[in-house]
Structure formats: C-alpha cells, structure tokens
C-alpha cells in the first residue's frame, strides 16, 4: 500500500485541534485586554484624584466662614469623563486626624467608575 497524501480524517483532527488552540488563545487575549482597560482606569482615577482635590484646596484658601466642601460632615460630588469612562468623586469631610492635630479636618475622597467592555 502506497501512502502519498494526507487522509480526510487527519485533516479533520488537525482542524479541530487548531480550533481548540485558537479558542484558548482568544480567551487569553480578551481577558488580558479587560485587565489592561481596568488598570488603565485605575491609573486614570488616581491621577484624577489630584484634580478632584483641587476644589478642596481652594476651600482651604477661601474664607473659612463661607460654606464649602470642607465644612464638618459635608458631602460633595464631582464628576469627569475621559475616554468614554465617567469617573465620579465623592468627598466626605469630618472625623479626627491621627496625631492629635487640632483645627484640622480629614477629607476622604472615593473615586468610582464603570469599566467599559473591550472591543474585539
């Protein structure tokens, strides 16, 4: 018996194996892209924290009698959209500052966003 070519069964088996390999690699690429988008959003949020803190700095410089975000127990909101992702900041002021400082208020800024789905 003379074997010169590849049988149809061998071609089908190799095609199925190749399809399984490509599917596995695509899952790795998609999850890697989600991870990249999420971490890029985290980095952007940390940089925006400085921008969101600017109004609080202006409140420190302003007359302390005027109502502003630094009043004890106040709650202020701010938002910014970058690259199709909306980042929102929530300021909550009040509470004691560690170290026994008097006349100093603590401000907590919580920045949140919703991750966008990667495009294939």
pLDDT in tens, 7-25: 888 999 999 999 999 999 9
Q: Is the pTM of this model over 0.75?
A: no
Order of strands, sheet of 107-112, starting from the edge strand that comes earlier in the sequence? 75-82, 85-93, 107-112
DSSP state for residue 119 in the 8-state scheme: P
> pLDDT at position 5, please?
74
Sign of CA dihedral 24, 32, 86, 105: positive
Beta-bridge mates of residue 79: 88
Percent of the chain with pLDDT over 90: 18
The pLDDT tens digits for 75-92 are 666 777 777 777 777 767
> Tell me, what's the pLDDT at 24?
93
Per-residue model confidence as pLDDT tens digits over 37-64:
888 888 888 777 777 776 666 655 555 5
Interacting residues of 109 by C-beta distance below 8 A, sequence separation 6+: 49, 52, 53, 89, 90, 91
């Amino acid at each position: 018996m003379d074997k010169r070519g590849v049988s149809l069964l061998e071609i089908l088996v190799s095609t199925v194996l190749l399809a399984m390999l490509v599917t596995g690699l695509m899952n790795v690429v998609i999850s890697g892209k989600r991870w990249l988008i999420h971490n890029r959003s985290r980095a952007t949020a940390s940089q925006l924290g400085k921008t969101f803190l600017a109004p609080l700095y202006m409140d420190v410089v302003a007359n302390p009698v005027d109502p502003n975000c630094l009043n004890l127990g106040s709650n202020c909101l701010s938002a910014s959209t970058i690259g199709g992702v909306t980042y929102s900041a929530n300021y909550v002021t009040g509470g004691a500052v560690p170290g026994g400082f008097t006349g100093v208020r603590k401000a907590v800024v919580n920045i949140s966003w919703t991750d966008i789905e990667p495009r294939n």
